[in-house]
Structure 1
Amino acid sequence: MAIPHDARPAARSGAPGTPAAPHLTVRGEARFDVAPELARLDITVGARDRDRRATLDALTRRNAAALDLVRSCGDGVERLETGSLTVTPELGSRGRGERVRGYHGTVRLAAELSDFAVLGDLAARLADLDLTRVDGLRWSLRPDSPAHRRARQEAVHDAVRRAREYAEALGTALDALVELTDTGVPDLPPETFAGTAPRGFARSAADEEPPPLDLEPQRRRVQAEVTARFTLVPPEL
């Protein structure tokens, strides 16, 4: 038999349950897979020569070529950033002193795309550039993706459903929500593939463009987890 709401003792978060206001704590979960919204490519452009200026000139050209290829994808590029620039003198392994035998330079770029139709062609053309390494793919969702909202809501619905099932097993009903905690579930690490262009390979102007890679987007797992505490209408045991 339910007691009038005004006669029930006030429930406080963290307070233990009592026979007059028993507590029930449950976990709610949601897990499902969705299509990715973004794909990231990591690009490393390199140059090496005995002459410092020649190294810088080659690095500048190859960096510009990589940037132009990515930018040619237009609105399909969500983000394009330069991560780091390194130019390092290489010392000789023999003899004493600071004898420089050459220079090695690298530029690291990160490109994030939302248009997967151009992704395979871009990856192949980037990997075909001289001394250019392509790493990826990293499939992901946007931080504000509706999938995250759906997961959180489904986790709450799951917690309420579980709590009602426990209450029904006791022959009673839920009274009030005392506390709801987002316990969080870490995102799964994105799967990647990695490829490296042949080092020292020079493609002539007469060579054809490489065929696009056939890339299938990998579905991403979305998860959410909550802990909910309720008060119950005191059951008759």
Structure 2
Amino acid sequence: MDETPTETPTPNAPYGTPQAPRLAVRGEAHLEVDPELARIGVTVSARGSDRREALGDLTRRNTTALDLIKTYGEAVEKLETGAFSITPELTKRGKGERIRTYHGRVHITAELTDFTALGELTTRLADLDLTRVDGPWWSLRPTSPAYATARQQAVKEAVQRAREYAQAIGADLAALLELADIGAEGPAPFNGYGGAPRAMGRAAYAGAADTEAAPLDLEPERQHVYANVNARFTMTPPTL
């Protein structure tokens, strides 16, 4: 009895066929948008020859800084206390080791959404005794609509580019084979307190003034959002 040979299916050609050519393009998008968040770093310090005295001063100044930040209510989206340290400084003279003084530090991070309040708050914090202010670091929320907008624009750009290529040879798009997300990125990653740092006032190690200083006029740094996709299509037969 003769056996009917089984036909082996022909795999799709990697570059398509004359009846269904393949087309690969990249879609890109770049948005420039206003930031949604601003982070500042606050370092409260204390110094004293007695450990308890230095610790007491540090506790008081830390409480003062926290209470000041909290007065801004909903303008402050996040408030966190980071590293705390109390370090003895030894004398450099003499045979025995003696403690000359104690240094205490507490690091605070505040994240604000109201940039008008940000300028006023940073000025008032910098006006406190032995208080250093760094920042601001501008950023977008991870859930910012800007990321979705950039991705959508990248896809639309890919489709438009593919259609233009196809029409250039008398064809049109037939089907989408693949859409690959190769990255939708916002500003540079945070370094410590935030993204690409933009110095706001270096450090403030000054005693409280008799009158309050004028609020800093801070200009928010525009954020850059990128999206890139690879797309593969099949086309109708071209007219060559």
TM range (shorter): 0.7 to 0.9
Deviation by residue 1:120-177 (Cα, 9 ceiling, x = unmatched): 1101000111111100011111111111111110010000000101111121111111
Within the candidate set 216, 225, 228, 2:231 is matched to 228
> Which 4+ residue blocks in structure 1 deviate beyond 6 angstroms?
none
Instruction: Show structure 1 runs of 5+ residues with no match.
Output: 1-8
Q: 1:203 aligns with which of 197, 208, 225?
A: 208
Aligned to 1:16: 14
Structure 1 window deviating more from structure 2 (215-224 vs 90-99): it is 90-99
The amino acid that maps onto 2:199 is: F
Counterpart Cα distance in 2 of 1:185 and 1:50: 53
Counterpart secondary structure, 1:94: coil
Q: Report the TM-score when normalising by structure 1.
A: 0.87
The residue type equivalent to 1:93 in the other structure is: K
Q: 1:67 maps to which residue?
A: 66
Q: Structure 1 stretch 94-103 or stretch 227-236: which is displaced more?
A: 94-103
Residues 139, 187 of structure 2: 8 Å contact kept: no
Q: Aligned in 2, Cα 1:10/1:163: closer, same or farther, shift over 3 Å?
A: farther
Instruction: Give 1:196's aligned amino acid.
Output: A
Q: Deviations over 1:185-231 (max 9, x none)?
A: 54333341142113xx4336xx1111111111121111111111112
SS of residue in 2 equivalent to 1:57: helix
| 5+ residue gaps, structure 2 | 1-9, 189-195
Distance 1:159 1:228 in 2: 7
Deviation, 1:109, is: 0.6
Equivalent residue for 2:151?
152
- Larger mean Cα displacement after TM superposition, 92-101 or 33-42: 92-101
The Cα offsets for residues 15-59 of structure 1, whole Å up to 9 and x where unpaired, read as: 722324322111111112111111111111111111111110111
Give, as a single letter, the amino acid of the residue that structure 1 aligns with 2:73.
G
Identity %: 56
Structure-2-length-normalised TM-score: 0.86
Change (3 A) 1:191 1:170: farther
- Stretch of structure 1 that moved more, 218-227 or 76-85: 218-227
Which residue is equivalent to 1:192?
198
How far, CA to CA, are the matches of 1:191 and 1:27 in structure 2? 31
Specify whether residues 92 and 232 from structure 1 end up closer, same or farther in structure 2 by C-alpha distance, changes over 3 A only: same
| Deviation of 1:234 (Å) | 2.9
2:54 aligned residue: 55
